[in-house]
Structure 1
Amino acid sequence: MSKHNIIFIGLDTHKEFHEVAYCEDQRGAEVVHDGRISSLKVSVTKLVRKFESKYPRATLHFVYEAGPCGYWIYRLITSLGHCCYVVAPSLIPKKAGERVKTDKRDAIKLAKLLKSEDLTAIYVPEPEDEAVRDLSRSREIAMKDLKDAKYQLKALLLRNNIRYPGTDNWSAKHMRWLAELILPHPTQQIVLQEFIHTIDERVRRLERLENELIHHVKLWRYYPVVKALQAMRGIRLTIAVGLIAELGDLNRFDHPRKLMSYLGLVPSEHSSGGKQRMGSITKCGNGRARRLLIEGAHTYRFSANLSKEMQQRQEGLPKQVIDIAWKAQVRLCRRYQRLIQRSKHRNTVVAAIAREMVAYIWAITKEVVLAPVNPKLRLSRVPA
C-alpha cells in the first residue's frame, strides 16, 4: 500500500458527524466509502492517524465544503502536516440529472472531484483575521438592531398620530421629548418605555463594540493596510476594517480585475455567435465587502475635495499612497458626473464607481509592507 503517492479524502461535514470517503491515485481506482465519524476534534485526529498508518509514504489531501462549522477542520489537519482544501458549495460541479443527494454520495463526490482537479479552493483566513472579522460583523449587527428599534418606536408614534416638532431626531433633546411623552392608554405607555430602554441599551452596545474595534484593530497585523485605505474618499475606519476583514490578503490577486471579479462587480456576459450580450453585475463572492464598496462609492457624487477630516486620516501615510488616493478621487468624481450626464441609472453609476475603487484599493495595498506571519504562532492557536 505504500506505493501510492496521494490519497484523496472527501469529508461531508456536519454539526454532529462527518461522512468520509477516499480514493487512491491509481488510474481507474474506485472511491471507497470509509464510514461516519464523530465531529469531535479527537475523532478527526484519529482519522488522520489511521490514514497515516495505512498509507505511510503517501501524501494525504483532504477536502470539505465551506459551511457554518467554520475552518477548524482545515486548521487542525494542516497543523498535523497534511494538505486540506475548503471549497465553496456553489463552485462544486453538478450534473443536471442528479436528483438524489445523500451524505455518503457527497463525500464520494468530493473525493472524486478532488482527484480530477475539478474543485477550486477558497481563501481561508488566519485565526486572528477571522476574530477581527467577527468583531466587525458584530458591530454591524448591533447597528442594524439599533435602527430596527428606532423604526419600531417611530411606527408606534405614527399609528397614534404623534409627531416630533423638532428636526434633530434621536438627539438628547429628542430623547427628553420621548421621556416626557404620554400616550392615550397605559398599555401603550409601557410599550413606549420599553422601546426607549431598548434604544438606550443598543446605543451603549454599539458604543462598546466600536471602542473594542478601534482598540483591537490597532493591534492587528493588517492595521497598516487599514490606515492606508482611509486615505481614499468614502473609506473610513469601519469600512476599511470591514473590507480587509472580509477579503484578507489582497496580494493573492495578481491583477485588480481578478479582485473585481471576486467581488462580483463585473458585468455578467452571455455572448455567442459573434453577438456580445452584457448584463448586470454577477454579485458573486463576498456580499458584505461589495456592499461596503457600494456605500463608499456614493461619496463620489460630489466634486473632488480634500476635506479636513481626510487630511487628518492621511497624516503619516507614504506619499505614494496619498497620490493614489487623490488620483482616484479626481478620476472617480469626474467619471461619476460623466455617467450621470449620459443618463445612466444612479445604481449603475455607483456600481461602476465601486468597481474602479477596487483597482485603487489594490494599488494602495501593494504600497504597504506587512510583517510576515509567524507559522509557529499560527499553528499553536489550533487546539490539539
Structure 2
Amino acid sequence: MDERSKLHVGLDVHKDSISVGAAEPGRERGRVVGKTAHDVNKLLKMLVKLGQPEQLHIVYEAGPTGYYGLQRALQAKGYVCEVIAPSQMPRRPGDRVKTDGRDCVQLAECSRAGQLRAVWIPDPADEAVRDLARAREDAVNSRTKARQQLKGFLLRHGLRYGGKTSWTIAFYRWLATLSFEAGASQTAFTEYWLAVQAADERVQRLTQALEASIAGWRFEPVVAALQALRGIDVVSAIGLVAEIGDLSRFDHPRKLMGYLGLVPSEHSSGDRVSRGSITKTGNAHARRLLTEAAWNYRFKARIGRQAQRRQEALSEHVRAVAWKAQLRLTKRFAMLLGRGMQPNKACVAVARELAGFVWAIGMAATQEKSAQH
C-alpha cells in the first residue's frame, strides 16, 4: 500500500499508559484517539478500530520501555511500527503546552509529513550482547566509585601509597599491611576493602561472560577485525559493535561520525559560518569507547606483542588498514598538539577519524564473511 494513503498513528508511551493519536492522509489536523494502560492486548483492541495492520503506520519515541513489550509485539501482529529518535523530533518554538495528547498527535502528523527518523532496532541476540556490555560498564563505574571511597578514607587518615600506580598487585599488598588503632576505623577500612574486592570480582565475571557471549554471534568476525586497531581490545570491540550494530547501514563513514556525535555543531547564516563543539548526539556509549581508544594514538606508531596476537588470524587487507590508521592518526595527534590544540580537543578530532577506520574495517570483515558463504 502507498505510504501516503496510510493512516499514521502516534503513540506517547509511558511506563503505565499509552496515548494514541492519528493523522488521516491529507492535510487535516490529527486527532486524539484515546488513552489506555500500557498493555499490548488493550492497545491492539484500540488499533483494530482504526483499520487493518497494513493500513496503519505506527510510530513512538524511543524510551526506557525497550522493544520487547511493544515494537516487537506490534511487528509480530503485522503492523509497521517505527521507533523514533527523540532528539530528531521537530519542536515548535512557540509551543509552551505539552501534554500526552498533544505529543501523540504531533508524532502522527510528523510521521505523515515524513519528518521523523527511525532508530535502528537490534535483533534480540544483538540486544542481549548489548545488555551484557552495558552491565559490565555499570560494574566498572561501581568499582571506580568503590575505589574512590577507599582512597578517600586512606587520605583522611594521612596514608598515601608510595608506588607509581594504584590498584596493582603491589598496591593490594600494601593495603594488607595497614592497621588502625581504633576498632571502628579498622572495621570501616575492611568494609571498604571488601567492597573493592567484590567489585573486582564482579567486573571479572562480567568480562568473561561478555567474551563468551559472542561465540557464534553474527558480528563475531567484525569484533575480531576491529581488534586490529590500536586501542581497541576485545571488550571495546564488543561494546562498539553492540552499540553501533550493522555498520553496513551507514553508506559513508561521515554518517557514522554524525551518528556518534563526533562532528562539530554549526550555526551559520548568510555569509557567516560558525562552528562549535561536537554535537554529542547519537550513541554516547560508542562515542566514549572511541574517545578512550583515540588516546592511544598520542604515542608513536608500533605494533606490540598483544596486537600481533590479535592480528594473527586476520586478513592482510584488515591488517593493512589498521597499520594505515596508526600512521595517519599518530601523525594527526602529534600535528594537532604541535599547533597548540588542547589535548582533549585533539583526542576528539582523532576519535572522529578513527570512526572512519572502524567503518572501513567493519565493512571489510562483513564482505569477507559474505565471500566465505
Give matches, 1:1-384, under 5 Å. Answer: 5-25=5-25, 27-48=26-47, 50-51=48-49, 54-56=50-52, 59-72=55-68, 73-167=70-164, 169-369=166-366
2:54 and 2:80 in contact (8 A); partners too: no
Question: C-alpha separation between the residues in 2 aligned to 1:10 and 1:151?
Answer: 46
In structure 2, what residue type is equivalent to 1:299?
N
- On the 8 A contact 1:250/1:365 being kept in 2, the answer is yes
Secondary structure in structure 2 of the residue aligned to 1:123:
coil
> One-letter code of the match for 1:70?
G
In 2, the alpha carbon distance for the partners of 1:333 and 1:170 equals 29
| Count of residue pairs brought into register by the alignment | 365
CA contact (8 A) 1:263 1:285 kept: yes
Normalised by the length of structure 2, the TM-score is 0.93
Give the conservation status (yes or no) of the 8 Å contact 1:5–1:57. no
Alignment-mate amino acid for residue 18 of structure 2: H
Counterpart CA distance in 1 for 2:358 and 2:167 is: 35
Against the structure 1 CA distance between its residues 273 and 7, is the aligned structure 2 distance closer, same or farther, given a 3 Å change threshold? closer
Aligned mates of 1:165, 1:122 — CA distance in 2? 50
Kept in 2: contact 1:7–1:58 (CA 8 A): no
Distance in 2 (CA, whole Å) between partners of 1:169 and 1:291 is 23
Indicate the SS of the match to 1:283: coil
Q: Which deviations, in whole Å up to 9, do the C-alpha atoms of 1:228-278 show, x marking residues without a partner?
A: 000111111111111111111111111111111111111122222323222
Any idea what the Cα deviations from partners look like across 1:306-336, whole Å, max 9, x if unmatched?
Answer: 1111111011111111111111111111111
Assess, with a 3 A threshold, how the Cα gap between structure 1 residues 47 and 200 changes in structure 2: closer, same or farther: same
- Runs of 5+ consecutive residues of structure 2 not aligned to the other structure: none
Q: Give me the TM-score of the superposition, normalised by structure 1.
A: 0.90
Q: Letter of the aligned partner of 2:337 in structure 1?
A: I
Closer/same/farther in 2, CA of residues 334 and 57 from structure 1, 3 Å limit: closer
Is contact 2:54-2:79 (8 Å) kept?
no
Q: Any gaps of 5 or more consecutive residues in structure 1?
A: 373-384
Kindly, what percent of the aligned residue pairs are identical? 43
CA distance in 2 between counterparts of 1:258 and 1:242 reads: 19
SS in 2 for 1:183: coil
Please tell me whether the aligned partners of residues 271 and 277 of structure 1 are also in contact (alpha carbons under 8 angstroms).
Answer: yes
Q: Tell me how far apart the structure 1 counterparts of residues 207 and 54 of structure 2 sit (CA, whole Å).
A: 49
Letter of the 2:77 counterpart: L
Cα-to-partner distance string for 1:267-314 (whole Å, 9 max, x where unaligned): 122222323222221111111111111100011111111111111101
CA drift at 1:353:
0.8
CA distance in 1, matches of 2:99, 2:293: 43
Q: CA deviation at 1:167?
A: 4.6
What is the Cα-based RMSD across aligned positions, in Å? 1.9
Contact 2:53 2:80 (C-alpha < 8 Å) held by counterparts: no
Deviation at 1:176, TM superposition (A): 4.2
Contact 1:21 1:32 in 2 (8 A): yes
Look up the equivalent residue of 1:39 and give its one-letter code.
H
Q: Distance in 2 between matches of 1:90 and 1:296?
A: 26
Structure 1 residues 267 and 30: alpha-carbon distance in aligned structure 2, compared to 1, 3 A threshold = closer
Letter in 1 for 2:257: M
Distance in 2 (alpha carbons) for counterparts of 1:246 and 1:166: 37
Deviation at 1:178, TM superposition (A): 2.7
Distance in 2 (alpha carbons) for counterparts of 1:57 and 1:194: 58
Q: Determine if contact 1:231/1:325 at 8 Å carries over to the other structure.
A: yes
Letter in 2 for 1:74: Q
- In structure 2, the residue matched to 1:382 is none
